[in-house]
């Protein structure tokens, strides 16, 4: 039987043709496909602007960098996420305080956010809340109502880590529409719902922010003469058609036309991808309903496009280990993964995060979580096959 990885890309002949057409064009790096992809992405998620960048980490970095944090502006990040969600704050020289999560969904809740904020205000005098990075883990949306209200009171930002959540519609509308946030950051890695190979994007409704992000992704360079301040030469030395000005310290985080061509083609397939993932999740639910294996998986209250099908299993109570279960599934042709070890437990952060403490929800989630295969090209009966194999191994 074919091997089922936990996730993989879905590439069609139309995707290949789009990339080949771009390879035959005059532009391989920054060309017309960048703007076309940005326009289509913004329209898809309902935001005014989209800025595409090299990857999801670059998106998070530039979004936080644009906030110009001081070393006394602490940012709250949930402990269950990929390292980049916290690293992007450290890149900008600001401290992180980790919030606990719901032990079943892995999401930061209003209560765990409030707990982190109380500790910051009680124990860290001289610090202020710089912002919050809610993570829509596995594609499940975080309700931002309370977080947004608190951040408005503190003059703080909300930047959504939406790297798992393209296509999801949550309490505040489509993820990426930024109805309750400054910006939302996406990843288009091959295991995500849609891919550009590598790539990411920031969506926002702030036109000035989008302009600044475009400068930051390309060395801080300004090419529009209307915004020049002058190199202090006379005549064409300041105004020639070759002239550009560096206005800030930026990075080379551009996304090439080749990748954007693939992204634009994949974006047309997003409704298909979303429907397929929803059907596969429903098939998983049906398979779990007719078994008696102790697997905990919570349905979403919202219109969720799941990036991961991460179940909870109390391995210790079953007298086994996750390593044993993963090995047994691999023998049956089924790949799995663990998303993620809590970031506050990582050696780098153990000595650097503010308010280092036990986060029991994150620890419990990590100890019991297992990501089962979920990707668009799975067959209709693959979820039942996975659950049958899991039942045998357990």
Residues 51 and 132 in one domain: yes
- Residue 376 reports pLDDT greater than 90: yes
Residues 60 and 196 in one domain: yes
pLDDT score, position 235: 87
pLDDT score, position 211: 96
Residue-wise pLDDT tens digits, 133-180:
999 999 999 999 999 999 999 999 999 999 999 999 999 999 999 999
Judge if the upstream peptide bond of residue 340 is cis by omega within 30 degrees of 0: yes
Residues 220 and 82 in one domain: yes
Residues 224 and 372 in one domain: no
Beta carbons within 8 Å of 138's beta carbon, 6+ residues apart: 105, 106, 164, 306, 307, 308, 309, 310, 339
Q: Which residues pair with 135 in a beta bridge?
A: 161
Q: Which domain holds residue 349?
A: 271-393
Residue that finishes a domain, picked among 233, 253, 269: 269
Phi and psi for 56 in degrees, rounded to 5?
-65, -35
Residues 304 and 219 in one domain: no
357 close to 326: Cβ distance less than 8 angstroms: no
Residues 286 and 235 in one domain: no
Residue that finishes a domain, picked among 269, 293, 319: 269
Q: Is residue 116 part of a domain?
A: yes
Number of independent structural domains in the chain: 2
Q: Is residue 3 part of a domain?
A: no
pLDDT score, position 361: 98
**What CATH code is carried by the domain that includes residue 90?**
3.40.640.10
Q: Is residue 1 part of a domain?
A: no
Residues 75 and 194 in one domain: yes
Distance (Å, whole) CA 151 – CA 32: 37
Q: Is residue 225 part of a domain?
A: yes
Residues 211 and 332 in one domain: no
Measured torsion, CA atoms of residues 187, 190, 194, 195, in degrees rounded to the nearest 10? 80
Residue that finishes a domain, picked among 247, 269, 291: 269
Residues 51 and 96 in one domain: yes
Among all residues, which ones are annotated catalytic? 192
Q: Is residue 6 part of a domain?
A: no
Distance (Å, whole) CA 200 – CA 255: 8
Instruction: Quote the pTM value.
Output: 0.97
Residues 156 and 301 in one domain: no
pLDDT score, position 1: 84
């Amino acid at each position: 039987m074919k091997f089922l990885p936990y996730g993989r890309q879905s590439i069609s002949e139309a995707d290949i043709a789009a990339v080949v057409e771009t390879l035959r064009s005059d532009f391989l790096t920054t060309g017309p496909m960048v703007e076309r992809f940005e326009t289509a992405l913004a329209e898809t998620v309902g935001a005014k602007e989209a800025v595409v960048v090299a990857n999801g980490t670059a998106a998070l970095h530039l979004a936080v960098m644009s906030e110009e944090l001081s070393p006394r502006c602490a940012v709250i990040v949930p402990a269950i996420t990929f390292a980049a969600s916290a690293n992007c704050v450290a890149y900008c020289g600001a401290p992180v305080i980790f919030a606990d999560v719901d032990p079943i969904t892995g999401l930061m809740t209003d209560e765990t956010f409030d707990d982190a904020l109380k500790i910051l205000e009680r124990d860290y005098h001289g610090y202020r809340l710089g912002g919050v990075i809610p993570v829509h883990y596995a594609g499940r949306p975080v309700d931002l109502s309370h977080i947004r209200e608190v951040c408005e009171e503190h003059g703080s930002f909300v930047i959504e880590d939406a790297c798992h959540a393209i296509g999801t519609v949550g309490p505040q509308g489509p993820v990426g529409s930024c109805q309750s946030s400054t910006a939302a950051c996406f990843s288009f890695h091959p295991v995500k719902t849609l891919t550009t190979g590598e790539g990411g994007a920031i969506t926002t409704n702030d036109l000035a922010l989008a302009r600044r992000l475009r400068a930051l992704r390309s060395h801080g360079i300004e090419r529009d003469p209307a915004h020049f301040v002058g190199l202090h030469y006379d005549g064409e030395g300041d105004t020639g058609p070759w002239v550009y000005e560096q206005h800030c310290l930026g990075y080379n985080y551009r996304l090439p036309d080749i990748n954007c061509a693939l992204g634009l083609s994949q974006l047309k397939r997003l409704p298909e991808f979303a429907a397929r993932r929803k059907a596969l999740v429903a098939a998983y639910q049906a398979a779990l309903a007719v078994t008696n294996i102790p697997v905990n998986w919570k349905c979403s209250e919202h219109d969720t496009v799941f990036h991961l099908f991460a179940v909870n299993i109390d391995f210790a109570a079953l007298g086994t280990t996750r390593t044993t279960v993963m090995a047994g599934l691999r023998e049956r042709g089924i790949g799995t993964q663990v998303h993620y070890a809590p970031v506050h437990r990582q050696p780098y952060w153990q000595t650097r995060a503010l308010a280092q403490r036990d986060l029991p929800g994150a620890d419990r989630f990590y100890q019991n979580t297992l990501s089962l295969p979920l990707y668009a090209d799975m067959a209709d009966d693959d979820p039942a096959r996975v659950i049958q194999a899991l039942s045998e191994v357990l």
